[in-house]
Amino acid sequence: MRAAFDAILLWACLTAAEGGRGSRAKARCCCFVHRQSELRSRSCPEIRWLTQRQQGRRRDIAIVPDSETCLDGVEDSIKAATIRYGLRQNDKSTILLHDQTDRETIGVVTNLSRRLAGLARNNDCRRCWLQRKHCICDRCPPLGHIPSVRRLFLLTHHKEIGLIVDTAKLIMSSFPTTVRLVVSGIKHEFQPTLVEMTEVLKQSTSGNGRCLVLFPTDDALTFEEIVDDMQSSESPCKLDDEPWSVVVIDGTWSQARKMFSKYLANYSGGNLYRVQLSSNAVAGLDQNESSIDSGHQLRRHPIKWREISTLEATRLLLKDMHPGGEFDREADMMAQYQEIGNAAARRQLGPPREK
Ligand SMILES: [Zn+2]
């Protein structure tokens, strides 16, 4: 349940001296709902104002109700499961009383509930999951739509939700109408996006619609190879104009392998393809490895190429899918978002601890 002031915090930048006239508001609204004029005139009844005083200056902070974020769906799932199982907050003691098939969902929603309560308690940003002073949302606005993709499912390990260093949240905020967040471990009955993803997987294996699963299995092809394969098959696919559905997995590599096995491995054939990045995309990664970010996540991995972030892998796949350059601008913006996100996460986390 969203608290009344689970909120996006807006620094209204009212720089006038206390009680002064002619305040200049330079606020930019993270949620893209409230206009500057609303902030300036304080005409919007939904906005609550707080006043702080620092060094003789008045700083007014506008707290507005959050617009939709990916967490709304997660909260709906938690709420539905909580009611269904009669769960109480922070109570895991009764988990063994439930059927074994329900225990994973109960464990996941209990953990998520605690984590989201922490975000709300700290008033962290619900979109970028950073502290308000490090929030990057005004620098990473939505990018519209992805030309040849109808739906992009982010199959996400529940431990990634709310994580400072997670990069997939920026995919969600970049393409909010295209991306569907699917949290691993929560049953179908509490998660409409999982139902939707499963339906897409089933349909595409039977030739209705088409779907790409980004995962480096032995049989994975590059996007170019998939297009060639479709065109050269005995019954070439007549879906040239049909947008793709795409499934991307978000988690550590061991988590990703488990999620692939559980949710995706059973689906293959028809118009469902396992896709890997093109050699050009991978070569670009190698070249950039010396630069500070270069699409790598902040978490280190003993195998270097496994450090590539979910955001970067998705970005490179989408570039592969638009060889005519229709996605170049958005791809460049996504690369910038990753740098902005990594820098903000570093600032929030501070320097690494000495061993
Ligand atoms: Zn933010």
Counting Cβ atoms within 10 Å, is residue 268 exposed (0-12), middle (13-18) or buried (19+)?
A: middle
Distance (Å) from CA 4 to ligand 1 centroid? 18
Mean pLDDT value across residues 4-8: 32
Distance (Å) from CA 94 to ligand 1 centroid? 36
pTM: 0.77
Distance (Å) from CA 152 to ligand 1 centroid? 21
Distance (Å) from CA 1 to ligand 1 centroid? 20
Distance (Å) from CA 27 to ligand 1 centroid? 14
- Hey, what are 7's tokens? 């909120």
At residue 178 the predicted structure's pLDDT band, cuts being 50, 70 and 90, is very high
**Residue-wise pLDDT tens digits, 332-343:** 999 999 999 999
129-143 burial, b if ≥16 CB within 10 A, otherwise e?
bbbbebbbbeebeeb
pLDDT at 113 over 80: yes
pLDDT at 56: 72
Contact 116, 74 (CB under 8 A): yes
The three-state (H, E, C) secondary structure of 89-128, written as one string: CCCCCCHHHCCHHHHHHHHHHHHHHHHHHHHHHCCCCCCC
What are the residue boundaries of the structural domains of the chain, listed by start? 2-123, 137-349
Distance (Å) from CA 164 to ligand 1 centroid? 11
At residue 100 the predicted structure's pLDDT band, cuts being 50, 70 and 90, is confident
Please report, for residues 23, 103, 181, 236, 342, the alpha-carbon distance to residue 75 in angstroms, rounded to integers and kept in the order given: 38, 18, 12, 43, 26
CA gap 173, 167 in Å, rounded: 11
